[in-house]
């Protein structure tokens, strides 16, 4: 990305973060769509995803949603994705899938190299789909892990020049639950079975009382992110005025 373009994007993101520092998530979304109309919302349809999907559907009813079906997801997640899309009236949901026939024909790559599996089934697929967009919306929140503790509402991906929007960055877990209750939103069925954070079935386990909500993701491994928010192995985050 040309340096002048990169500097311009960084300045725009810095301004957005400053102006919207104390604004509600809906305001962040409205401004995001005005600043970058060609945005996609990337959703895992996981434990808390319905809150952002509902909020975005109210701000922009025809929001483009990208859903990565890794082909290793829980059956409950696939059913939930269909149910939520129908309930919220999401008409533009694009389902992304990787071609694993060469790199992982027997679906065992996650056992040998979970990072490579995530890269194959998530990162590469998403990066290809996002080429058609100028930015994307995520449901990441500061409380979810230490690496997200300083998460701003707007970021720039240096390598791609895309804007990344995190409308719920400042929300707490209680904020999410309250929003879901007040709007009578459907819950992912696995939450009631002890899965507060849900990814692929082979790499997600139930969480015991008192554990961190993401303790069940890649349990026992030095890994707590799937990789879609990384470029060349590093967390992509710039324009960090918070």
Give the model's confidence band at 221: pLDDT under 50 very low, under 70 low, under 90 confident, else very high: confident
What is the reported pLDDT for 64? 97
pLDDT at 59 over 90: yes
Residue whose structure tokens are 């957005």: 16
List the alpha helices (DSSP H) in 132-235.
173-182
Q: Which of 22-26, 84-88, 206-210 has the highest mean pLDDT?
A: 84-88
* Across 155-183, average pLDDT: 92
Name the pLDDT band for 240 (thresholds 50, 70, 90): very low
Alpha helices by DSSP H, listed for 89-236, are 109-112, 114-118, 124-129, 173-182
Domain positions in the chain are 3-194+229-235
- Angle, nearest 10°, between helix axes 49-59 and 25-35? 60
Is 203 designated active site?
Answer: no
The residue-averaged pLDDT of 13-26 equals: 90
The CATH code that applies to domain 3-194+229-235 is 3.40.50.620
> In the predicted model, what is the mean pLDDT of residues 99-117?
95
What is the chain's mean pLDDT, rounded? 88
C-alpha 156 chain-centroid distance = 15
Share of the chain above pLDDT 90, in %: 67
- The catalytic position among 118, 200, 203, 226 is 226
Predicted model pTM: 0.86
Strands 93-96 and 64-68, sheet pairing? parallel
pLDDT higher than threshold 60 for residue 21: yes
What residues contact 173, with CB distance under 8 A and at least 6 apart?
Answer: 143, 213
Structure tokens at 161: 């020049």
């Amino acid at each position: 990305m040309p340096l002048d373009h990169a500097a311009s994007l960084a300045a725009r993101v810095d301004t957005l973060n400053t102006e919207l520092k104390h604004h509600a998530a809906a305001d962040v979304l409205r401004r995001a769509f005005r600043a970058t109309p060609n945005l996609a919302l990337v959703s895992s349809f996981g434990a808390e995803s319905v809150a952002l999907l509902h909020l975005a559907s109210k701000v922009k009813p025809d929001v483009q949603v990208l859903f990565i079906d890794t082909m290793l997801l829980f059956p409950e997640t696939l059913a939930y994705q269909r149910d939520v899309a129908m309930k919220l009236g999401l008409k533009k949901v694009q389902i992304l899938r990787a071609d694993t026939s060469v790199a992982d024909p027997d679906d065992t790559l996650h056992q040998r190299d979970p990072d490579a599996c995530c890269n194959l089934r998530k990162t590469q697929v998403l990066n290809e789909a996002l080429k058609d967009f100028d930015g994307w919306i995520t449901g990441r929140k500061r409380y979810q892990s230490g690496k997200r503790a300083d998460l701003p509402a707007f970021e720039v991906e240096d390598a791609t020049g895309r804007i990344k929007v995190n409308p719920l960055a400042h929300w707490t877990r209680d904020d999410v639950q309250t929003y879901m209750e007040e709007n009578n939103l459907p819950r992912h069925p696995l939450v009631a079975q002890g899965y507060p954070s849900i990814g692929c079935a082979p790499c997600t386990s139930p969480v015991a009382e008192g554990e961190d909500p993401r303790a069940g993701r890649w349990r026992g491994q030095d890994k707590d992110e799937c990789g879609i928010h990384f470029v060349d192995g590093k967390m992509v985050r710039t324009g960090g005025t918070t």
